[in-house]
Amino acid sequence: QRFWSTTRRNAWAAQMGFNTVPCLYAGEVTLDQLRDWVHAHDSQFRQGHLEGIVVRRENADWLENRAKLVRADFTQTIEAHWKSRALEWNRVV
């Protein structure tokens, strides 16, 4: 399974009239810098802290690697409900 690079994905999304998530930073960072970022910033989409961030390594066309860094208190609060729920498919209308 392959995924498009953000540049490629965002170009397609713009043509279709879709919004995309913001890019917070492009460049090399350490794990400590990422942890500091998650703890120091609030969400742009809801009141409160960031849930986490997605880190992507990609070339011009394709995603090469990805990871998600999530706050410990976020995973503890959702642990009980998301694993026990039935799978819900997202749909584009």
Q: pLDDT, tens digit, for every residue of 77-91?
A: 555 556 677 777 777
Q: How far is CA 75 from the centre of its chain?
A: 15
How many CB atoms sit inside 10 A of residue 3's CB? 13
Domain count, the chain: 1
Is residue 38 a part of any domain in this protein?
yes
Look at 71 and 62; give whichever has higher pLDDT: 62
Q: Average pLDDT, stretch 52-75?
A: 89
Is residue 91 a part of any domain in this protein?
no
In total, the chain counts a number of residues equal to: 93
pLDDT at 43: 84
Q: Average pLDDT, stretch 58-79?
A: 82
Whether residue 63 has pLDDT greater than 90: yes
pLDDT at 72: 78
pLDDT at 47: 86
- DSSP code at position 61: S
Is residue 87 a part of any domain in this protein?
no
Domain carrying residue 46: 6-82
- Residue with token string 């584009």: 92
Nearest to 51 by CA among 33, 27, 76, 17: 76
Mean pLDDT across the chain, nearest whole number? 86
Residue 37's SS3 state is helix
Rounded to whole angstroms, how far apart are CA atoms 72 and 45?
19
